[in-house]
Amino acid sequence: MEDYHLFFDLDHTLWDFEKNSKTALKQIFKEADLHQKIEKFSTFHGVYQNANKLLWQQYSKGTVSKELLRTKRFTDTLKYFKIDDNGLVDQLSHRYIEVSPFQKNLFPGAIETLNDLSKEGYNLHIITNGFMEVQHIKIREAGLTSFFDIVVCSEEVGVTKPDSRVFNYSMAKANAKKEKSVMIGDNYEADYLGGLNAGMKSIFFNHRGKHKVRKDDDVIEHLTELPAKIPWVLRY
């Protein structure tokens, strides 16, 4: 297996972004005494998720900078509740970046699967669209460091997945051949189609089972399906 390279996405694939982000937001909501101004955390959370999603789409298109994304998701969230307070926006955006990467929830079977795959001799790597300084903390805090040879954050390439340049850069860095490389991720466009378009094999992690897939797509719904799925996808 020494020649085979598995590239994992991080957020929503190994690291349980939903759960970790919610825990972090709950903590900073409490710290900032936001319950005095906003009745329910769940409403705040929902509004934040929409604002954040929209800004990430704009960031991927290159229309919003990383710095603006980090503050504007809170500016927009607070605006919804008619709160206009730059100091509070600063506090929330800073604390979020300080608190969220230290959350450790992974998807069920993540460690067990990575253990199995590395025992089988596969080379494991990460390709993420997330930001360098937080992704490395998440990987370390969740106990994932020892599994991975290279970690590529797309910002070091200057474009984001699904741009083929991100995958080509990562394969070159890992000294991997595309015919012997597999991309594994939860985002159908960015990870699955992105990997295929770069000439790699690809596996879509449809963990909610909700995304529409094509008949011939290679899909898993649970990480523990990977050790059996990979030889099939690589046809060896």
Q: Which is nearer to Mg ion, 9 or 163 (CB)?
A: 9
Q: CB of 37: closest distance to Mg ion in angstroms?
A: 32
Of 17 and 74, CB closest to Mg ion: 17
Report d(CA 71, CA 67) in Å as an integer. Answer: 7
Q: Of the two residues 176 and 185, which places its CB atom closer to Mg ion in the complex?
A: 185
How would you classify residue 172: left for phi > 0, otherwise alpha for psi between -120 and 50, otherwise beta? alpha
Which one, 103 or 187, has the nearer CB to Mg ion? 187
CB-nearer residue toward Mg ion: 17 or 29: 17
Q: Cβ 186 to Mg ion, closest distance in Å?
A: 5
Q: Minimum distance from CB of 191 to Mg ion (Å)?
A: 6
Question: In DSSP terms, which residues pair with 127 in a beta bridge?
Answer: 152
Provide the binding-site residues for Mg ion, judged by CB under 5 A. Answer: 9, 11-13, 186-187
Q: Which helix (DSSP H) or strand (DSSP E) does residue 219 occupy?
A: strand 219-220
Closest distance to Mg ion from the beta carbon of 226 (Å)? 16
| Shortest spacing between CB 190 and Mg ion, in angstroms | 7
Closest residue by beta carbon to Mg ion: 12
% helix, strand, coil for the chain, step of 5: 55, 10, 30
At residue 11, φ and ψ (nearest 5 deg) are -70, 130
Q: b/e string for 10-24 if b means 16 or more Cβ within 10 A?
A: bbbbbbbbeebbbbb
Contacts of 49 (CB under 8 A, 6+ apart): none
